[in-house]
Structure 1
């Protein structure tokens, strides 16, 4: 396993944080009149999700922000994949027919690298592989893109937050520039997001879900964003979130997912959302650029695409 002892890693990460990144670090404001557009699992309407090809496609479309999912393999490597099993987005059932239920955690990274992660989407992407987090960060960096990273199913992978931060640090993603402008970490697990905030209080964080309005103050202690499904969102809920200040003392934000059509994106912009996560980032970008709304400025941490 690549996970270092807890005490040593916490000390290293918090030491860096305390020295260079105070918890109240200022965040940049970009494009305050329109929501940040985030390519969900890369530009996943046009290339197989969570692959380097999807990152490349987002860049081809001029999209600055990409989103991904991180899990851990049997041998302790960090893989970028959404589902906790390999069935839907690889040919694992053909390559390893006797290894059901084909959980990510039951395979080494070398075994996962043998799988075709592109043919399910299109023959044009045959041979695309599941990337490691290291490979993914390098490609995003090559394109000068920015990353909304989801810690996936942390209950299955004790210490995943710590290991992810370690990999981000090793790849240069925890320096001042990245933390201020290029990185957000989110999860469906409040405990997981809280752990990230505890280890690196300078990093911008988001909770995936829609807590009750009465509970928002509790979340605001350790997150900067409340990120619900667009199907649950109302203007009143967005306004309630915006009334509070998040972990960095700035107005709490709303990034909503997964929005793939222009009219819906324009409507959500009128609600005042700060970001839209989408499989079709070009469509959402164009729709939100065309629509007009009042100023819903917030600290977005980076530019919209």
Structure 2
């Protein structure tokens, strides 16, 4: 059943929003990061790329939104983009409420900055993999893969540590126990980020695969803005050297982004703390 939601008889929505909500809740129960993020946005009164009808049936509840955002940040596996977006939204909510302890805020800021660093690393790896695939070079040391352990038919995640001179086999180090094994390439497959669509030239971004930008995964803050927020808290708690370093990094980021006023302010703060 598709709810009316103010639509006329001839312009009903093209999907069942209750079914969408059910599947989002189910995925969120398994700590699926994009699902948790989508639900958290709706609970915070924001739109989501998943469905523009969810706001009509899901009530706003910021406590629930915060819980979902924290859940979105918990999984270990990539991609990191939605985790960073979840962290930014959580920072915004905590700032608006102004009830979180400094320790809580610092933890969220540090975790979100870590996700942003991982975002950059993952993006660089995608570019590198595309270049390798385009040039036909195959696997390289450091590539994340899944390998057919002991040729038993079960694939486990690991990393390439060595490729044979003839390019027909490689040594894989498994993530779970650190053991290594030499396998032919037909027993090794690329480990792609879960949400990515793979083409012959390598993995596509969500925007490329969907044909539009996934606004759910757009960060509300730049990394340098979060560093400045974290620096203020570090300074408040007597961690002057760490705060100075963060202010310097924030100033560099702001300068690169053309935010000269902020860059100047943060440079001065760094100098004051160092002096």
Category of TM-score, reference length = shorter chain: under 0.3
Q: Which one has the largest radius of gyration?
A: 2
Q: TM-score, length-normalised on structure 2?
A: 0.26
Q: TM-score, length-normalised on structure 1?
A: 0.24
